[in-house]
Amino acid sequence: MNCLIRFPSSALSPRKILGLVLLIVFVAEVSVMFILPLLLSSTTNEFGRALLDSTLLTLITAPVLWWVIIGPLRRLAIAERARAASIVESAADGIITTDDKGTIESFNVAAERIFGYGVDELIGKRFGILLADSEDGGSDKDIVDQIVSISKSANSDGCELKGSRKDGGTFPMRLAMSEVSLGDKQVVYTAIARDLTEQKRAQLQQRERDIARAEQMAVVAQLATGVAHELRNPLTSIKLLVQNNQEELISRGVPDDDLNIIEQEIRRMERSLQAFLEFARPEKSIRRRFDVAELVDQVFLLVEGRAFQQSVVCVKTGDIGKIFSVNADRDKIQQLLLNLVLNALDAMPKGGTLEIRLSYLVAGELDLKVIDSGSGIDAAVLPRLFEPFVTTKETGVGIGLVISKRIAEGNGGSLSAANISEGGACFTVCLPVSTETD
C-alpha cells in the first residue's frame, strides 16, 4: 500500500542535517590531512596523492554518515510507513487510492469487506466498478473529479451514492475523496467509503415505529377521551356522596380514616383522568411574557410542605438576581415545572437536595435544569422516558413527562433528561428568550 511519510517534529530538520554533513566532512578532511602524510612515500605523484585522499575521505565519511544520519532516518521512515499502513488497514471505513486517471492502486481490509473484492481483483482496475450505474457517469477521471469537487465544498463530508459489490448487489454508501500531490506533478486520489446499509435500515425501522406509534396514540387518545368522560361523572357523584354524608356515615360506625382514604383515592383517579384528557386533547397555549425565576419561587412555595416532610432542601442557583423573561404560556410552564419538581421529590423519599439552575445560553435560550440527588433514572428506561405509558412508579400512569415534553415543545422549547455522574437525575428545559421590551 502506498503511504505518504510525514516525519514527526522531533526528527532532524534539513538545516540540522546539512550542519551534520558539513561537520562530518570537515572532521574527516582534517583526519585525512593528518593520516595522509603517514601513508605517502616520497615518490607518490599528484594523481596517487589525490586518489588516496579521496579514498580515505570516503572510507571515513560514508560509515559515519550512515550511522549518524542515514540509518536513523531510514529506521524512522520504516516505522512511520508501518504506522501509517497499520492505521489505514485498521480503519473501519474503506480507504481506496487511485492514480490521476481513476485506476485503483491500493485499498484496505475494510474496502475488501465492503465491496467483496480481494486484493488481486481490484488493483489496476477502474474505480467506476465500485459505483452502481457508473457507465452513465462519464470516465473514471470525470467521476473522481466530481466526487473530489463535492468533498471540497463547505460543510461537506462527501456524497451519498450507490456502491456496487462483486456479487452484483448494490448498497448505499457515503463517499468522500481528496487529492494528494506527491511532487513532480504526480497526483494520488484517496477515497473513503462508508457502508450506510445498517444506518439506512435503522432509519427505516425508526420511521416505521414512529408511524405505528402515531397510529396507536391516535386510537389511545380517542379511547382515553371516551373512558375519561364515562368515569368522571360517577367518580364525581361518589365523591359528593361521601362528602355530604360523612357525618352520618361516621355516626353509623364507618371510620373517618376510611372515608378520607376513599376521598383521596377518588381525587387521585380524577387527576389521572384529567391527565388522560390533557394528553388526548391538549389545550391551546396562551402566551405572555413572564419571569421564570419568579415562577420557580412560586413552585418552591407550593411544594414547601412536602419537601420539609421529606427533609429535601430546595435551592435555586445560577444567575441569581437576573430576570429570565420568556414569552410562553405561564400556566403550562408552571405545570411542566411542578411535574418535574414532584418527580424529583418522588426520587428522594429519604431526603436530599433539589436544585433548579437558571442560566442563559449563547443561542438566545433560557436553560432551566431540575437536578435531584436521588438514585437516577434506570438505564433501561432512559431512552424511552418520554414515550407514553413508560414509568418507573408503581402507581404512575406514564404520561406526565409526555405532557411536559409536549408543553415545552409547544412553547418553542425542548425537554431532555440525563443521569449525572455524582448521582441523581437532571431534567433540562430550554425555552426561547423573550425579545419584547417593556
Selection from 75-89, 141-155, 235-249, 407-421 with the highest mean pLDDT:
407-421
More confident residue, 178 or 254: 178
Quote the percentage of the chain above a pLDDT of 70. 77
Q: What is the pTM of this model?
A: 0.46
Cβ 246 vs Cβ 259: under 8 Å: yes
Q: What is the pLDDT of residue 370?
A: 94
pLDDT digits 0-9 by tens, 34-86: 777 777 776 777 777 778 778 877 887 888 878 877 777 777 777 777 776 66
pLDDT digits 0-9 by tens, 272-284: 666 666 665 656 6
What is d(CA 223, CA 74) in angstroms, rounded to the nearest whole number? 78
Over range 3-15, report the average pLDDT.
52
Strand order in the sheet with 414-419: 312-318, 352-360, 365-372, 425-432, 414-419
Residue 371, helix vs strand vs coil: strand
Over range 366-391, report the average pLDDT.
85
CA distances from residue 75 to 20, 46, 67 in whole angstroms, order as listed: 18, 41, 11
Q: What is the pLDDT of residue 158?
A: 72
CA distances from residue 29 to 50, 67, 111, 420 in whole angstroms, order as listed: 13, 18, 55, 71
User: Residues 333-350, buried b or exposed e (16+ Cβ, 10 A)?
Assistant: bbbbbbbbbebbbebbee
DSSP 8-state secondary structure symbol assigned to residue 85: H
Q: What is the pLDDT of residue 9?
A: 42
pLDDT tier at 344, thresholds 50, 70, 90: very high
Closest CA to 360 of 414, 321, 319: 319
How big is the chain, counted in residues?
A: 438
Write down the CATH number for the domain with range 288-432: 3.30.565.10
Q: Return the C-alpha cell found at 288.
A: 405572555
What is d(CA 121, CA 107) in angstroms, rounded to the nearest whole number? 11
Q: Return the C-alpha cell found at 269.
A: 383517579
Over range 264-274, report the average pLDDT.
72
- The domain at 94-195 falls in which architecture? 2-Layer Sandwich (3.30)
pLDDT at 149 over 80: no
